[in-house]
Amino acid sequence: MSNNLEEKLDFVIASLSALLPELILIMCLLLVVLLSFRKGLLKASLIIAIFAPIVTLPLILFKDTSEPQFLMNNNFVLDDISKYFKVLFLITFLYSLFIFSREGKKSGEQLSMMLTILIGAFFTASSHNIIVLVLSIEMMSIPAYALTTFSMDRESGKAGLKYFLLGAVASAFMLYGLSLLYGFTGTLDIFSLEFIKGLLVSSPLAVIVACLFTLGGILFKLSVFPMHVWVKDVYLSAPISAVAFFSIVPKIAVLVFFIRFIKSIDSVSLVFIDLNFDWSVFMSFLSLATIFAGNLAALKQKDVVGMMAFSSVAHMGYLLVGLIPVSQYGFQATSFYVGAYLLMNMAVFHMLQVFKRGGLSLQYDAFRGWGRKNIYWVVIVVFLMLALTGLPPTGGFTAKLMIFSALYDSYLTASKPIIIWVILFGLLNVAISLYYYIRLPYIMLIKEPQGPVLKFKSKKADIFVISGTTLALILLFFKPNWLLEIINNVNFVF
Protein backbone atom coordinates (compact mmCIF):
# COMPACT_ATOMS: atom_id res chain seq x y z
CA MET A 1 0.00 0.00 0.00
CA SER A 2 2.77 2.42 0.96
CA ASN A 3 4.69 1.62 -2.22
CA ASN A 4 1.56 2.33 -4.27
CA LEU A 5 1.10 5.66 -2.48
CA GLU A 6 4.75 6.56 -3.05
CA GLU A 7 4.38 5.79 -6.76
CA LYS A 8 1.34 8.06 -6.98
CA LEU A 9 3.16 10.87 -5.17
CA ASP A 10 6.16 10.50 -7.47
CA PHE A 11 3.79 10.64 -10.46
CA VAL A 12 2.15 13.82 -9.13
CA ILE A 13 5.52 15.48 -8.51
CA ALA A 14 6.70 14.54 -11.98
CA SER A 15 3.51 16.10 -13.38
CA LEU A 16 4.29 19.49 -11.86
CA SER A 17 6.96 20.25 -14.44
CA ALA A 18 4.49 19.59 -17.26
CA LEU A 19 1.99 21.92 -15.54
CA LEU A 20 4.54 24.74 -15.25
CA PRO A 21 2.46 27.17 -17.39
CA GLU A 22 -0.52 26.76 -15.06
CA LEU A 23 1.70 27.17 -11.99
CA ILE A 24 3.14 30.41 -13.37
CA LEU A 25 -0.36 31.75 -14.00
CA ILE A 26 -1.39 30.83 -10.46
CA MET A 27 1.66 32.58 -8.97
CA CYS A 28 0.93 35.71 -11.01
CA LEU A 29 -2.70 35.59 -9.89
CA LEU A 30 -1.64 35.49 -6.23
CA LEU A 31 0.66 38.48 -6.76
CA VAL A 32 -2.11 40.47 -8.48
CA VAL A 33 -4.53 39.66 -5.65
CA LEU A 34 -2.00 40.80 -3.02
CA LEU A 35 -1.30 44.03 -4.90
CA SER A 36 -5.04 44.71 -5.18
CA PHE A 37 -5.18 45.33 -1.42
CA ARG A 38 -3.03 48.44 -1.80
CA LYS A 39 -4.06 51.53 -3.74
CA GLY A 40 -1.76 52.95 -6.39
CA LEU A 41 -0.36 49.56 -7.45
CA LEU A 42 -2.63 48.97 -10.44
CA LYS A 43 0.23 49.53 -12.89
CA ALA A 44 2.32 46.86 -11.15
CA SER A 45 -0.65 44.48 -11.26
CA LEU A 46 -1.06 45.11 -14.98
CA ILE A 47 2.65 44.44 -15.61
CA ILE A 48 2.40 41.12 -13.76
CA ALA A 49 -0.76 40.20 -15.68
CA ILE A 50 1.03 40.93 -18.97
CA PHE A 51 4.11 39.03 -17.81
CA ALA A 52 2.07 35.86 -17.14
CA PRO A 53 1.01 35.04 -20.75
CA ILE A 54 4.28 36.30 -22.27
CA VAL A 55 6.26 33.80 -20.17
CA THR A 56 3.66 31.05 -20.47
CA LEU A 57 3.21 31.22 -24.25
CA PRO A 58 6.67 29.91 -25.29
CA LEU A 59 6.46 27.15 -22.67
CA ILE A 60 3.29 25.90 -24.35
CA LEU A 61 4.43 26.43 -27.92
CA PHE A 62 7.67 24.48 -27.49
CA LYS A 63 6.08 21.66 -25.51
CA ASP A 64 6.02 18.40 -27.49
CA THR A 65 2.44 17.09 -27.39
CA SER A 66 2.58 14.70 -30.34
CA GLU A 67 1.94 11.96 -27.80
CA PRO A 68 -0.68 12.76 -25.12
CA GLN A 69 0.72 13.09 -21.60
CA PHE A 70 -1.51 12.07 -18.71
CA LEU A 71 -0.77 13.97 -15.51
CA MET A 72 -1.80 13.91 -11.85
CA ASN A 73 -3.04 10.32 -11.92
CA ASN A 74 -4.86 10.86 -15.24
CA ASN A 75 -6.73 13.92 -13.98
CA PHE A 76 -5.18 16.09 -16.71
CA VAL A 77 -4.04 15.50 -20.27
CA LEU A 78 -1.60 17.50 -22.36
CA ASP A 79 -2.22 16.92 -26.05
CA ASP A 80 -2.39 18.78 -29.35
CA ILE A 81 -5.97 19.90 -28.73
CA SER A 82 -5.33 21.52 -25.36
CA LYS A 83 -2.09 23.06 -26.66
CA TYR A 84 -3.78 24.76 -29.64
CA PHE A 85 -6.63 26.20 -27.61
CA LYS A 86 -4.41 27.32 -24.73
CA VAL A 87 -2.43 29.42 -27.20
CA LEU A 88 -5.71 31.00 -28.34
CA PHE A 89 -6.64 31.67 -24.70
CA LEU A 90 -3.37 33.50 -24.11
CA ILE A 91 -3.72 35.59 -27.28
CA THR A 92 -7.24 36.58 -26.22
CA PHE A 93 -6.04 37.42 -22.72
CA LEU A 94 -3.23 39.64 -24.02
CA TYR A 95 -5.60 41.49 -26.35
CA SER A 96 -8.09 41.89 -23.47
CA LEU A 97 -5.34 43.37 -21.30
CA PHE A 98 -4.60 45.92 -24.02
CA ILE A 99 -8.29 46.89 -24.11
CA PHE A 100 -8.32 46.98 -20.29
CA SER A 101 -5.32 49.33 -20.26
CA ARG A 102 -7.26 51.81 -22.41
CA GLU A 103 -10.34 51.91 -20.16
CA GLY A 104 -10.96 54.90 -17.92
CA LYS A 105 -12.14 52.92 -14.91
CA LYS A 106 -9.71 50.14 -14.02
CA SER A 107 -9.18 47.92 -11.00
CA GLY A 108 -6.83 45.19 -9.85
CA GLU A 109 -9.87 43.11 -8.91
CA GLN A 110 -10.89 42.88 -12.57
CA LEU A 111 -7.39 41.72 -13.49
CA SER A 112 -7.49 39.00 -10.85
CA MET A 113 -10.92 37.84 -12.06
CA MET A 114 -9.72 37.64 -15.65
CA LEU A 115 -6.61 35.71 -14.61
CA THR A 116 -8.78 33.29 -12.64
CA ILE A 117 -10.94 32.69 -15.72
CA LEU A 118 -7.79 32.08 -17.78
CA ILE A 119 -6.50 29.49 -15.30
CA GLY A 120 -9.92 27.81 -15.21
CA ALA A 121 -9.90 27.67 -19.01
CA PHE A 122 -6.47 26.03 -18.99
CA PHE A 123 -7.65 23.36 -16.55
CA THR A 124 -10.92 22.82 -18.44
CA ALA A 125 -9.10 22.29 -21.74
CA SER A 126 -6.85 19.66 -20.10
CA SER A 127 -9.34 18.07 -17.70
CA HIS A 128 -9.69 14.30 -17.91
CA ASN A 129 -11.73 13.76 -14.78
CA ILE A 130 -15.30 14.67 -13.83
CA ILE A 131 -14.39 16.37 -10.55
CA VAL A 132 -11.54 18.37 -12.11
CA LEU A 133 -13.83 19.36 -14.98
CA VAL A 134 -16.62 20.66 -12.73
CA LEU A 135 -14.19 22.60 -10.52
CA SER A 136 -12.45 24.08 -13.58
CA ILE A 137 -15.72 25.22 -15.17
CA GLU A 138 -16.85 26.83 -11.92
CA MET A 139 -13.44 28.49 -11.66
CA MET A 140 -14.33 30.26 -14.90
CA SER A 141 -17.98 30.87 -14.10
CA ILE A 142 -17.83 32.49 -10.66
CA PRO A 143 -15.43 35.31 -11.68
CA ALA A 144 -17.61 35.93 -14.76
CA TYR A 145 -20.64 36.39 -12.48
CA ALA A 146 -18.66 38.89 -10.42
CA LEU A 147 -17.35 40.80 -13.45
CA THR A 148 -20.93 41.36 -14.61
CA THR A 149 -21.59 43.51 -11.51
CA PHE A 150 -18.46 45.69 -11.82
CA SER A 151 -20.43 48.74 -13.00
CA MET A 152 -21.84 48.88 -9.45
CA ASP A 153 -25.30 50.07 -10.52
CA ARG A 154 -28.78 48.60 -10.26
CA GLU A 155 -28.85 47.16 -13.77
CA SER A 156 -25.47 45.41 -13.47
CA GLY A 157 -26.53 44.00 -10.09
CA LYS A 158 -29.69 42.54 -11.64
CA ALA A 159 -27.73 41.15 -14.58
CA GLY A 160 -25.12 39.59 -12.28
CA LEU A 161 -27.78 37.98 -10.09
CA LYS A 162 -29.66 36.64 -13.12
CA TYR A 163 -26.43 35.26 -14.58
CA PHE A 164 -25.47 33.68 -11.26
CA LEU A 165 -28.85 32.01 -10.65
CA LEU A 166 -29.15 30.64 -14.16
CA GLY A 167 -25.52 29.51 -14.05
CA ALA A 168 -26.07 27.72 -10.73
CA VAL A 169 -29.07 25.84 -12.11
CA ALA A 170 -27.15 24.91 -15.27
CA SER A 171 -24.19 23.68 -13.21
CA ALA A 172 -26.54 21.59 -11.07
CA PHE A 173 -27.98 19.95 -14.20
CA MET A 174 -24.50 19.24 -15.54
CA LEU A 175 -23.25 17.85 -12.23
CA TYR A 176 -26.30 15.60 -11.93
CA GLY A 177 -25.78 14.27 -15.45
CA LEU A 178 -22.09 13.63 -14.87
CA SER A 179 -22.84 11.89 -11.56
CA LEU A 180 -25.27 9.58 -13.38
CA LEU A 181 -22.59 8.78 -15.95
CA TYR A 182 -20.20 8.01 -13.10
CA GLY A 183 -22.81 5.72 -11.55
CA PHE A 184 -23.24 3.82 -14.83
CA THR A 185 -19.54 3.40 -15.52
CA GLY A 186 -17.80 3.45 -12.12
CA THR A 187 -15.08 5.79 -13.39
CA LEU A 188 -14.48 9.53 -13.15
CA ASP A 189 -12.48 9.46 -16.38
CA ILE A 190 -15.15 10.13 -18.99
CA PHE A 191 -12.74 9.64 -21.89
CA SER A 192 -11.39 6.24 -20.82
CA LEU A 193 -12.05 2.76 -22.21
CA GLU A 194 -13.71 1.79 -18.89
CA PHE A 195 -16.18 4.65 -19.35
CA ILE A 196 -17.10 3.49 -22.86
CA LYS A 197 -17.47 -0.13 -21.73
CA GLY A 198 -19.68 0.98 -18.85
CA LEU A 199 -22.01 2.87 -21.18
CA LEU A 200 -22.25 -0.09 -23.57
CA VAL A 201 -23.75 -2.29 -20.83
CA SER A 202 -26.03 0.44 -19.39
CA SER A 203 -29.67 1.19 -20.17
CA PRO A 204 -29.80 3.27 -23.39
CA LEU A 205 -32.62 5.47 -22.07
CA ALA A 206 -30.76 6.14 -18.83
CA VAL A 207 -27.59 7.05 -20.76
CA ILE A 208 -29.55 9.49 -22.94
CA VAL A 209 -31.11 11.13 -19.88
CA ALA A 210 -27.68 11.49 -18.23
CA CYS A 211 -26.20 12.97 -21.40
CA LEU A 212 -29.06 15.45 -21.76
CA PHE A 213 -28.63 16.61 -18.16
CA THR A 214 -24.91 17.06 -18.82
CA LEU A 215 -25.67 18.97 -22.00
CA GLY A 216 -27.93 21.32 -20.03
CA GLY A 217 -24.91 22.76 -18.26
CA ILE A 218 -22.69 22.74 -21.33
CA LEU A 219 -25.27 24.57 -23.45
CA PHE A 220 -25.57 27.33 -20.86
CA LYS A 221 -21.81 27.88 -20.79
CA LEU A 222 -21.80 28.00 -24.60
CA SER A 223 -24.89 30.30 -24.69
CA VAL A 224 -26.63 27.81 -26.99
CA PHE A 225 -30.42 27.81 -27.49
CA PRO A 226 -32.48 27.61 -25.29
CA MET A 227 -29.88 28.53 -22.62
CA HIS A 228 -28.90 31.87 -24.19
CA VAL A 229 -31.29 34.32 -22.51
CA TRP A 230 -28.57 35.76 -20.24
CA VAL A 231 -26.21 37.07 -22.88
CA LYS A 232 -27.55 40.58 -23.55
CA ASP A 233 -27.81 41.63 -19.89
CA VAL A 234 -24.30 40.37 -19.17
CA TYR A 235 -22.74 41.98 -22.25
CA LEU A 236 -24.34 45.35 -21.46
CA SER A 237 -23.40 45.31 -17.78
CA ALA A 238 -19.78 44.13 -17.65
CA PRO A 239 -16.77 46.28 -18.66
CA ILE A 240 -16.04 45.97 -22.39
CA SER A 241 -12.57 44.47 -21.80
CA ALA A 242 -14.14 41.80 -19.58
CA VAL A 243 -16.91 41.09 -22.12
CA ALA A 244 -14.35 40.74 -24.91
CA PHE A 245 -12.51 38.19 -22.79
CA PHE A 246 -15.27 36.04 -21.34
CA SER A 247 -17.29 36.10 -24.57
CA ILE A 248 -14.50 33.92 -25.99
CA VAL A 249 -12.34 32.09 -23.45
CA PRO A 250 -14.86 30.30 -21.16
CA LYS A 251 -17.01 29.30 -24.13
CA ILE A 252 -14.12 27.87 -26.11
CA ALA A 253 -12.74 26.05 -23.05
CA VAL A 254 -16.11 24.34 -22.59
CA LEU A 255 -16.18 23.66 -26.34
CA VAL A 256 -12.91 21.73 -25.98
CA PHE A 257 -14.55 19.52 -23.37
CA PHE A 258 -17.64 19.21 -25.58
CA ILE A 259 -15.49 17.97 -28.47
CA ARG A 260 -14.01 15.28 -26.24
CA PHE A 261 -17.44 14.44 -24.79
CA ILE A 262 -19.27 13.96 -28.11
CA LYS A 263 -16.33 11.90 -29.37
CA SER A 264 -16.80 9.55 -26.40
CA ILE A 265 -20.57 9.43 -26.89
CA ASP A 266 -20.18 8.80 -30.61
CA SER A 267 -17.99 5.78 -29.89
CA VAL A 268 -20.95 4.16 -28.06
CA SER A 269 -23.61 5.18 -30.60
CA LEU A 270 -24.70 1.54 -30.88
CA VAL A 271 -26.29 1.96 -27.43
CA PHE A 272 -28.95 4.27 -28.92
CA ILE A 273 -29.95 2.20 -31.96
CA ASP A 274 -32.85 0.43 -30.20
CA LEU A 275 -34.34 3.82 -29.24
CA ASN A 276 -33.87 5.28 -32.74
CA PHE A 277 -31.95 8.16 -31.18
CA ASP A 278 -29.40 9.78 -33.48
CA TRP A 279 -26.99 12.27 -31.89
CA SER A 280 -26.18 13.87 -35.25
CA VAL A 281 -29.87 14.65 -35.79
CA PHE A 282 -30.11 16.07 -32.27
CA MET A 283 -27.00 18.23 -32.84
CA SER A 284 -28.40 19.36 -36.20
CA PHE A 285 -31.62 20.66 -34.68
CA LEU A 286 -29.69 22.23 -31.81
CA SER A 287 -27.32 24.11 -34.14
CA LEU A 288 -30.16 25.30 -36.40
CA ALA A 289 -32.25 26.50 -33.46
CA THR A 290 -29.25 28.34 -31.99
CA ILE A 291 -28.35 30.06 -35.28
CA PHE A 292 -31.94 31.13 -35.91
CA ALA A 293 -32.59 32.27 -32.32
CA GLY A 294 -29.37 34.32 -32.26
CA ASN A 295 -30.08 35.97 -35.62
CA LEU A 296 -33.72 36.68 -34.79
CA ALA A 297 -32.81 38.36 -31.49
CA ALA A 298 -29.94 40.33 -33.11
CA LEU A 299 -32.33 41.76 -35.71
CA LYS A 300 -34.33 43.49 -32.97
CA GLN A 301 -31.46 45.21 -31.18
CA LYS A 302 -31.13 48.99 -31.04
CA ASP A 303 -27.53 49.07 -29.82
CA VAL A 304 -24.34 47.51 -31.14
CA VAL A 305 -23.40 45.65 -27.93
CA GLY A 306 -26.81 43.96 -27.83
CA MET A 307 -26.37 42.96 -31.45
CA MET A 308 -22.94 41.49 -30.68
CA ALA A 309 -24.40 39.58 -27.72
CA PHE A 310 -26.95 37.71 -29.82
CA SER A 311 -24.53 37.51 -32.74
CA SER A 312 -22.31 35.43 -30.45
CA VAL A 313 -25.23 33.02 -29.94
CA ALA A 314 -25.52 32.52 -33.71
CA HIS A 315 -21.77 31.94 -33.98
CA MET A 316 -21.97 29.26 -31.31
CA GLY A 317 -24.58 27.60 -33.51
CA TYR A 318 -22.17 27.61 -36.45
CA LEU A 319 -19.48 26.10 -34.23
CA LEU A 320 -21.90 23.27 -33.38
CA VAL A 321 -22.37 22.66 -37.12
CA GLY A 322 -18.70 21.71 -37.29
CA LEU A 323 -19.22 19.12 -34.56
CA ILE A 324 -22.14 17.33 -36.25
CA PRO A 325 -19.93 15.06 -38.43
CA VAL A 326 -17.76 13.98 -35.42
CA SER A 327 -14.82 13.77 -37.82
CA GLN A 328 -11.24 14.97 -38.03
CA TYR A 329 -12.19 17.44 -40.76
CA GLY A 330 -15.14 18.71 -38.75
CA PHE A 331 -13.00 19.33 -35.67
CA GLN A 332 -10.35 21.05 -37.80
CA ALA A 333 -13.00 23.31 -39.34
CA THR A 334 -14.31 24.16 -35.88
CA SER A 335 -10.79 24.99 -34.68
CA PHE A 336 -10.24 27.30 -37.66
CA TYR A 337 -13.59 28.97 -37.02
CA VAL A 338 -12.61 29.59 -33.39
CA GLY A 339 -9.35 31.27 -34.48
CA ALA A 340 -11.12 33.53 -36.99
CA TYR A 341 -13.98 34.36 -34.61
CA LEU A 342 -11.51 35.27 -31.88
CA LEU A 343 -9.93 37.93 -34.12
CA MET A 344 -13.18 39.47 -35.35
CA ASN A 345 -14.82 39.46 -31.92
CA MET A 346 -11.86 41.06 -30.15
CA ALA A 347 -11.45 43.71 -32.88
CA VAL A 348 -15.13 44.68 -32.71
CA PHE A 349 -15.15 45.03 -28.92
CA HIS A 350 -11.88 46.99 -29.04
CA MET A 351 -13.44 49.30 -31.59
CA LEU A 352 -16.58 49.73 -29.46
CA GLN A 353 -14.44 50.62 -26.46
CA VAL A 354 -12.64 53.28 -28.53
CA PHE A 355 -16.01 54.73 -29.56
CA LYS A 356 -17.32 54.69 -26.00
CA ARG A 357 -14.15 56.26 -24.63
CA GLY A 358 -14.48 58.99 -27.26
CA GLY A 359 -17.91 59.95 -25.94
CA LEU A 360 -20.06 58.09 -28.49
CA SER A 361 -23.17 56.25 -27.43
CA LEU A 362 -23.26 52.70 -28.74
CA GLN A 363 -26.88 53.08 -29.84
CA TYR A 364 -27.34 52.78 -33.61
CA ASP A 365 -28.87 56.27 -33.87
CA ALA A 366 -25.66 57.82 -32.48
CA PHE A 367 -23.85 56.80 -35.70
CA ARG A 368 -26.24 58.49 -38.16
CA GLY A 369 -24.05 60.11 -40.83
CA TRP A 370 -21.04 59.78 -38.53
CA GLY A 371 -18.99 57.91 -41.11
CA ARG A 372 -18.96 60.75 -43.63
CA LYS A 373 -16.14 62.42 -41.74
CA ASN A 374 -14.63 59.21 -40.34
CA ILE A 375 -13.97 57.09 -43.44
CA TYR A 376 -11.21 55.06 -41.78
CA TRP A 377 -13.62 53.72 -39.18
CA VAL A 378 -16.25 52.99 -41.81
CA VAL A 379 -13.74 50.86 -43.74
CA ILE A 380 -12.81 48.97 -40.57
CA VAL A 381 -16.47 48.45 -39.65
CA VAL A 382 -17.27 47.15 -43.14
CA PHE A 383 -14.47 44.56 -43.08
CA LEU A 384 -15.31 43.43 -39.53
CA MET A 385 -19.01 43.10 -40.33
CA LEU A 386 -18.19 41.16 -43.51
CA ALA A 387 -16.03 38.82 -41.39
CA LEU A 388 -18.81 38.30 -38.88
CA THR A 389 -21.29 37.62 -41.68
CA GLY A 390 -18.92 35.16 -43.35
CA LEU A 391 -18.31 36.95 -46.64
CA PRO A 392 -15.12 37.48 -48.67
CA PRO A 393 -12.50 38.84 -48.57
CA THR A 394 -12.22 37.88 -44.88
CA GLY A 395 -11.34 34.85 -42.80
CA GLY A 396 -14.97 34.64 -41.74
CA PHE A 397 -15.82 33.39 -45.23
CA THR A 398 -13.09 30.75 -45.09
CA ALA A 399 -14.29 29.63 -41.65
CA LYS A 400 -17.91 29.17 -42.75
CA LEU A 401 -16.81 27.51 -45.99
CA MET A 402 -14.80 24.95 -44.03
CA ILE A 403 -17.65 24.33 -41.56
CA PHE A 404 -20.18 23.59 -44.30
CA SER A 405 -17.64 21.66 -46.40
CA ALA A 406 -17.00 19.33 -43.46
CA LEU A 407 -20.74 18.87 -43.03
CA TYR A 408 -21.23 18.12 -46.74
CA ASP A 409 -18.42 15.56 -46.61
CA SER A 410 -20.28 13.77 -43.83
CA TYR A 411 -23.44 13.81 -45.98
CA LEU A 412 -21.56 12.05 -48.79
CA THR A 413 -20.64 9.34 -46.28
CA ALA A 414 -23.84 9.01 -44.24
CA SER A 415 -26.48 10.40 -46.69
CA LYS A 416 -28.67 11.81 -43.92
CA PRO A 417 -31.27 14.27 -45.31
CA ILE A 418 -31.10 16.42 -42.16
CA ILE A 419 -27.53 17.41 -43.10
CA ILE A 420 -28.69 19.01 -46.37
CA TRP A 421 -31.32 20.96 -44.41
CA VAL A 422 -28.65 22.18 -42.01
CA ILE A 423 -26.50 23.39 -44.93
CA LEU A 424 -29.41 25.14 -46.67
CA PHE A 425 -30.83 26.68 -43.51
CA GLY A 426 -27.36 27.70 -42.32
CA LEU A 427 -26.60 29.49 -45.59
CA LEU A 428 -30.01 31.19 -45.46
CA ASN A 429 -29.17 32.49 -42.00
CA VAL A 430 -25.91 33.92 -43.33
CA ALA A 431 -28.08 36.08 -45.60
CA ILE A 432 -30.32 37.03 -42.65
CA SER A 433 -27.32 38.04 -40.53
CA LEU A 434 -26.07 40.29 -43.33
CA TYR A 435 -29.01 42.61 -42.62
CA TYR A 436 -28.06 43.40 -39.05
CA TYR A 437 -24.31 43.32 -39.63
CA ILE A 438 -24.43 45.77 -42.56
CA ARG A 439 -26.82 48.00 -40.63
CA LEU A 440 -24.04 49.84 -38.77
CA PRO A 441 -21.99 50.93 -41.84
CA TYR A 442 -25.27 51.76 -43.63
CA ILE A 443 -26.33 54.09 -40.81
CA MET A 444 -22.83 55.60 -40.69
CA LEU A 445 -22.87 56.58 -44.36
CA ILE A 446 -26.46 56.82 -45.61
CA LYS A 447 -28.60 58.06 -42.71
CA GLU A 448 -28.79 61.80 -42.14
CA PRO A 449 -27.02 62.94 -38.94
CA GLN A 450 -29.11 64.35 -36.07
CA GLY A 451 -26.57 67.10 -35.41
CA PRO A 452 -23.13 68.30 -36.48
CA VAL A 453 -20.65 65.49 -37.18
CA LEU A 454 -17.08 66.00 -35.99
CA LYS A 455 -13.86 64.23 -36.91
CA PHE A 456 -13.39 61.44 -34.36
CA LYS A 457 -10.06 61.51 -32.57
CA SER A 458 -8.49 58.21 -31.53
CA LYS A 459 -5.09 57.16 -30.32
CA LYS A 460 -2.53 55.72 -32.72
CA ALA A 461 -2.03 52.58 -30.63
CA ASP A 462 -5.74 51.71 -30.95
CA ILE A 463 -5.70 52.35 -34.69
CA PHE A 464 -2.58 50.20 -35.12
CA VAL A 465 -3.94 47.21 -33.17
CA ILE A 466 -7.42 47.27 -34.72
CA SER A 467 -5.97 47.71 -38.21
CA GLY A 468 -3.55 44.85 -37.61
CA THR A 469 -6.33 42.54 -36.42
CA THR A 470 -8.51 43.45 -39.41
CA LEU A 471 -5.57 42.82 -41.75
CA ALA A 472 -5.05 39.41 -40.13
CA LEU A 473 -8.69 38.56 -40.90
CA ILE A 474 -8.19 39.53 -44.53
CA LEU A 475 -4.99 37.46 -44.72
CA LEU A 476 -6.92 34.44 -43.40
CA PHE A 477 -8.99 34.67 -46.59
CA PHE A 478 -6.01 34.86 -48.97
CA LYS A 479 -3.60 32.73 -46.91
CA PRO A 480 -5.70 30.34 -44.77
CA ASN A 481 -2.87 27.79 -44.90
CA TRP A 482 -0.96 29.82 -42.32
CA LEU A 483 -3.45 28.68 -39.69
CA LEU A 484 -4.51 25.45 -41.36
CA GLU A 485 -0.97 24.06 -41.26
CA ILE A 486 -1.00 24.43 -37.49
CA ILE A 487 -4.47 22.89 -37.16
CA ASN A 488 -3.61 19.99 -39.47
CA ASN A 489 -0.94 18.93 -36.99
CA VAL A 490 -3.54 18.66 -34.24
CA ASN A 491 -4.58 15.06 -33.66
CA PHE A 492 -8.27 14.88 -32.75
CA VAL A 493 -8.17 11.13 -32.21
CA PHE A 494 -8.35 10.42 -28.48
Residue 119: pLDDT band with limits 50, 70, 90:
very high
Q: How far is CA 18 from the centre of its chain?
A: 25
Rounded CA-CA distance 223/277 in Å is 24
pLDDT > 80? residue 450: no
Q: What's the CA angle centered on 423, arms 421 and 428, to 5 degrees? A: 95
Separation CA 401–CA 387 (nearest Å): 12
The 3-state DSSP class for residue 69 equals strand
More confident residue, 103 or 314: 314
Residue 494, pLDDT > 60, answer no
Average pLDDT on 116-125 reads 91
Please state, in angstroms and rounded to a whole number, the distance separating the CA atoms of residues 436 and 197.
Answer: 48
Residue 275, pLDDT above cutoff 60: no
Q: What is the pLDDT of residues 126-175, one digit of tens each?
A: 888 888 888 999 999 888 888 888 777 777 788 888 888 888 888 898 89
Contacts 24+ apart (CB under 8 A), 420-423: 421/284, 421/288, 422/284, 422/287, 422/288, 422/321, 422/324
Beta strands in 218-285 (DSSP E): none
Contacts of 63 (CB under 8 A, 6+ apart): 18, 78, 83
Q: Which phi and psi (to 5°) does residue 71 adopt?
A: -120, 160
Specify the pLDDT at position 453.
Answer: 67
Give the bridge partners for 303, in sequence order: 363
Tell me what the mean pLDDT of segment 204-232 comes to: 84
What Rg, from alpha-carbon coordinates, does the chain have? 22
Alpha-carbon distance values, 130 to 181, 183, 185, 276 (Å)? 10, 12, 12, 28
- Chain Cα centroid distance, residue 431: 24
Kindly give, in sequence order, each residue whose CB lies less than 8 Å from that of residue 162, ignoring residues fewer than 6 positions away: 230, 233
Round the average pLDDT of the chain to a whole number and report it. 84
Model confidence band, residue 490 (pLDDT cutoffs 50, 70, 90): confident
DSSP state of 457: P
Give the CB-side neighbour count of residue 230, counting CA atoms within 13 A. 28
d(CA 401, CA 99): 30
Cα atoms found within 13 Å of the Cα of residue 258, Cβ hemisphere only: 29
pTM to 2 decimal places: 0.90
